[in-house]
A and B are shown apart, each in its own frame.
Chain A
């Protein structure tokens, strides 16, 4: 019985440790890099600038 417990415990514990120590969130890192690069190179400004005035146009006058 004893070895079974140990094997079970080890089998469950090991992947948990590996996950915490080695897992690198590649997708999150890419997203973070994109956000920083867009800021540094001001890539968003070019896209955002034409959009901003457009939203100010009176899209919907409240109907009486």
Chain B
């Protein structure tokens, strides 16, 4: 019986500081992979920004960008726009997964994605389109 009690005490001693450390820590976002994704998205942003302003592209609920009004884009530009959106979403998906993995919690990916979706929408400039629970809304 004593062994069991000592065993539990030992396990508790191991677990309690762990949970405390998790609660206090910031999320790690300074990994090389995250920095690379950030610069890639930063370099792409000037190309996407005009489409945000025109409403051709909006910010979706799932933390990605989506073509919401392709008709507003000249036919000749549409292919380029689709490629831009696909590349941006590839980076965004990788970014959310990378933050979750970089913090040793791959299962946090959906919550990280949801947090980002909210913050992209909150920080979007007025005139940009964001998707809320009911549909597309112009800020």
| Chain A residues in the interface with B (C-beta under 8 A) | 2, 5, 9, 12-13, 16-17, 19-20, 23-26, 28-43
Q: Which residues of A contact B4 (CB under 8 A)?
A: 5, 9
* The stretch of B17-25, B68-76, B130-138 that contacts the partner chain: B17-25
Residue in contact with A16 in the complex, picked from B12, B26, B29, B99, CB distance below 8 Å: B12
| Chain B residues in the interface with A (C-beta under 8 A) | 1, 4-5, 8, 11-12, 15-16, 18-19, 22-23, 25-27, 29, 34, 38, 41-42, 45, 95, 99, 105, 108, 111-112, 115-116, 118-120, 123
Between A and B, 6 residue pairs with Cβ closer than 8 Å are: A13-B12, A24-B105, A25-B27, A28-B26, A32-B99, A36-B34
Known: A19-B19, A29-B115, A42-B42. A36 touches B8 (CB 8 A): no
Q: Of all chain A residues, which has the CB nearest B26?
A: A28
Q: Are the CB atoms of A37 and B45 closer together than 8 Å?
A: no
Cα-based distance from A5 to B5 in the complex (angstroms): 8
Q: Are the CB atoms of B22 and A25 closer together than 8 Å?
A: yes
Q: Are the CB atoms of B19 and A23 closer together than 8 Å?
A: yes
Q: Which residues of B contact A28 (CB under 8 A)?
A: 25-27
Q: Of all chain A residues, which has the CB nearest B9?
A: A9
Q: Are the CB atoms of B111 and A29 closer together than 8 Å?
A: yes
Q: Which residues of A contact B5 (CB under 8 A)?
A: 5, 9
Cα-based distance from A2 to B12 in the complex (angstroms): 19
Q: Which residues of B contact A29 (CB under 8 A)?
A: 27, 108, 111-112, 115
